[in-house]
Structure 1
C-alpha cells in the first residue's frame, strides 16, 4: 500500500554559509507536522538530520523517524521558547547560547529571500489595481480564515485599499428567482468576526480550486502579512475573488517591510481624515447639494462594514453606496396590490460590504436617502 507524504524545502543560512545556504527537505504525514516559518530570519534548530551530497550540491534530509526540529523567532528581543517543535524534540542546555549568537549574527546578515522589502514592494499589486485574467502577485494581510467545505479553505485578505467596482450583468427581473448574493461564503460571518475586520478597505475573499491540501492554506495565521505569487482574480456575482492556483506560492512578510508600513500608515490616515471613509475608487462621491433626512448634516460618512459591526440595535447611518438590485424589480410593483403597503428590498454595496436594506410602509413613502443604508 502506498502512503502519501507532505513535503517542504527550507533554505537555511548560518555563519558558515552566509551567502549560499543549504536546502533542507522535510517529509511528513500531514502539513501540521511540517515546520511553519512565520518570518524570514527566524531560527530553526535541527537535530539528527542526514546530510547528503550529489555532485557539487549538498542538502539536508529530515528523517521523520529520527530527526527533530524547533523554530524560534529571529528578533534579538524575543524569548528563548520555540513557537513550534516536532514531537521528538528535546531542548538542551547549550541551545540558549546558540540561539542568542545566531540572533546577534542575523542583525547584520539579513537572509536573501523574496520577503525582503524591496522585492515585496516592487512586483506586487494592491487591491485597488486588480484586474481579471492576468496572473499577479499580491501583498496583503490575512484577516480571517475559515473552512467553507470539507478540506476547502477561504482566506479573507486586506491591504487598506478599495477594489474597483465591477459591472453587474444581471436583469432586474431575475432578482426574485436568483437574488444577488451578499457574500461568496455559504453563510454570513458572525458579528464577532466582522468586528475584527478593518472598517475601511476591501476584504477580498481568496480560495483555491482543488489544491487546498497542497498549498496548506489552513496553516496560514490571521494577522500576518503575506505575499502571494501567481494568483488570478475573478468576479463572481459582482464580488471580487482571488483564485490560488496549483503553482501559487505564499511567504510571510516581516512587520517592517516597506509595503506593510506604507499600507498601515495609509489606513491610519484614512481613519483620521474627515473623508477617509469615502471610497477611493470610482464609487460616486456625494455632491455638496445632496440632501438627506439625517438630523446632523456634519455627521461623518461610515462604511457598510461599520454598519454591520455596529453595537447599536437601532441607529441611523450616513453612507455612500450604490444600489445593485431591487425587489420588486419595477417601481409600479413597490406597493402591494392586496394591502396597498409599500415594501421594497434594496441591495446596497460599497467597497467594504454588500447588504440588504428594507423599506416598508411609511419608510418607503419618503424619498430614499443614504440614511437607509
Structure 2
C-alpha cells in the first residue's frame, strides 16, 4: 500500500489526472484502503491529494466565503506535527461543514489537497471529491463517527488507528498551552488562554470591539495605588466602557461570577458569529491588566478567538464547577471573601440571604432592600472634618461599592450617618473608621504625599434602592446604605 501511495504522489506531481477515490488507493479484499500519511510527510507533497487521521486542536467560525460557499477552518495535529496545520473546508451550506463537538476530537480526512499560498502550507477540502468523518476524542471508546460527509467510506482497519490516536491524546492533548487560566486566576501583564462564554459583543465609539465574557468564577480582588491626600477628590469609575450597557443587555448577564471586558482594536470574522448568538470560545494569547481596580482584557496582535461547542471538555468542566458553586449560599459569595469576610460592620438584616450587586441591578423591582457583601473602593468625602459635617449638616457621603459582579455608588444620608459611624464622633475617630473601610494601611502617620497600596476589606451592609424621578424610574435609580454600623 505504501508503494501504491508513493506512485500516486508521483503521478500527482507530474500533473496526471487524478483518479477516483476508489482507484486512487490500493485495493485489498474488495475494499478501498486509504493510506493515511503523517502530517509532516504530507507537507512534503505540495499539490498532492492525501488522507490524514489527526486530532482537532482549534475550531474556527463558519462564514460565507467571497463566492456562494460557506467555509470553515480547523487546525489539526498528530504525533508527527504537534503544532498542527490548518484545514479549510468549503460547502454549499453550513450543515455540510464539520460540526466538531470538542477540541481534541479526531477527524479522518480523505482526498484533501496539500496547498501552498504565500509560502505557507495548508490543507484544502474539495467539496466535490474530499470527505471526512468526526470521532469523539480521548475520553470515548465509541468507534463509530458522530458525523460523516456524504462521500465518506469507512473501513474496519480505521478502528485501530483511532484507538492509537486516543491513547496519544490522553498524554498529549493538542492545542492546550501550559498557561490556560480561569478568571479567578488572572494576573496582570501575563499572557494566557481563556475559555469563556461570550455573552455580548459591541463596538465602542473609539472603534474598539468589546467582548463581554464569563466563566462562572470571580476575578481576583485588586489592590489600589492611591495618594491619601487626594483620596477625597477621586472617584472610582463604575465601568470601563464610555457608557453603561442598556438595561435589556444588562439583564441578560449572569448574576454570579465576573463578566470581564476584553478590548480589541481589530475586526475578526469570529465577531460576526459572536454578535448573532452566545458562544463559548477560547481566547488564545490574551493579556489582562487593572484600570481603576477593574480587570481589563486585551487582544494582542498574536491573539486568536476560537469558537467552542457546548460539548467541549473545557466548557463542560467549567459548567460543572459553576453548578457546584450554586449549590450552597456560601459558595455564591465572592471567592476572594471566603474565610476573609470582615466583622467590622454590623447589619440590621442579619438573617437575610446574600444578594450580589448584579442581582440587584437586574431586579424586576426598581425599589427593594437587600443584604450584600462588598468592598468600599472609594469615598467622597473621606476626611474627618468633612465627615463630621455629614453628621451635623445636610450633606451626604457617597461610597463606591464593588463585588465581583458590578460596581455601584451608594449614599449615606444624614439620618443613617450617625448609626453608620456609631454615634457623633470626633474628626479623628471618623477618619480612623473610614480608613478601615478603604483599607488604608497603618500606621496613621503615613506620608500623605507618598503612594499607598490599600486593600479594602469585605464588609456586610444593607442597601435599598430608590428613584429620584418617577417618570424615569430606571434611569434615576439610586442606592442608599441603611441598617449598617461600623464597629469599633
Change (3 A) 1:138 1:291: same
Q: List runs of 5+ in structure 1 lacking aligned partners.
A: 1-14, 22-27, 69-73, 76-96
Change (3 A) 1:250 1:365: same
Q: Which residue of 243, 246, 250 maps to 2:305?
A: 250
Deviation at 1:313, TM superposition (A): 1.5
Q: Which residue of 253, 276, 281 maps to 2:336?
A: 281
Q: Distance in 2 between matches of 1:199 and 1:56?
A: 46
Q: Which residue of 373, 382, 395 maps to 1:320?
A: 373
Q: 1:81-96, aligned counterparts within 5 Å?
A: none
SS at match of 2:204: strand
Aligned: 1:357 with 2:391: no
Q: Which residue of 11, 15, 18 maps to 2:52?
A: 18
Q: What's the TM-score, normalizing by structure 1? A: 0.69
Give 2:261's aligned residue. 205
SS at match of 1:184: coil
Give 1:292's aligned residue. 347
Q: List runs of 5+ in structure 2 lacking aligned partners.
A: 1-48, 56-62, 77-86, 93-111, 129-133, 136-146, 422-459, 464-480, 482-488
Q: Which residue of 124, 127, 137 maps to 2:193?
A: 137
Deviation at 1:18, TM superposition (A): 3.3
1:117–1:258 contact (8 Å) kept in structure 2 = no
Q: 1:44-123, aligned counterparts within 5 Å?
A: 44-46=89-91, 59-60=123-124, 99=149, 119-120=175-176, 123=179
SS at match of 1:185: coil
Q: Distance in 1 between matches of 2:233 and 2:67?
A: 43
Q: Which has the higher strand share?
A: 2
Question: RMSD of aligned C-alpha atoms?
Answer: 4.6
Deviation at 1:272, TM superposition (A): 2.5
Indicate the structure whose relative CO is greater, using CA pairs within 8 Å and at least 6 residues apart.
1
1:172–1:326 contact (8 Å) kept in structure 2 = no
Q: Distance in 2 between matches of 1:235 and 1:334?
A: 30
SS at match of 2:225: coil
Q: Distance in 2 between matches of 1:344 and 1:280?
A: 28
SS at match of 2:412: strand
Give 1:371's aligned residue. 462
Q: Which has the higher helix share?
A: 2
CA distances 1:195-254 after superposition (whole Å, capped 9, x unpaired): 21111111111012x4x13x4463241521111111111111111111111111121122
Give 1:160's aligned residue. 216
Change (3 A) 1:176 1:256: same
Change (3 A) 1:361 1:132: same
Deviation at 1:365, TM superposition (A): 2.8
Deviation at 1:287, TM superposition (A): 5.9
Larger of the two Rg values belongs to structure: 2
2:258–2:404 contact (8 Å) kept in structure 1 = yes
Deviation at 1:355, TM superposition (A): 0.9
Give 2:399's aligned residue. 346
Aligned: 1:259 with 2:314: yes
Q: Distance in 1 between matches of 2:407 and 2:67?
A: 35
Aligned: 1:228 with 2:319: no
Q: Which residue of 190, 213, 229 maps to 2:246?
A: 190
Deviation at 1:157, TM superposition (A): 0.8
SS at match of 2:358: helix
Deviation at 1:327, TM superposition (A): 0.8
Q: What's the TM-score, normalizing by structure 2? A: 0.54
Deviation at 1:43, TM superposition (A): 10
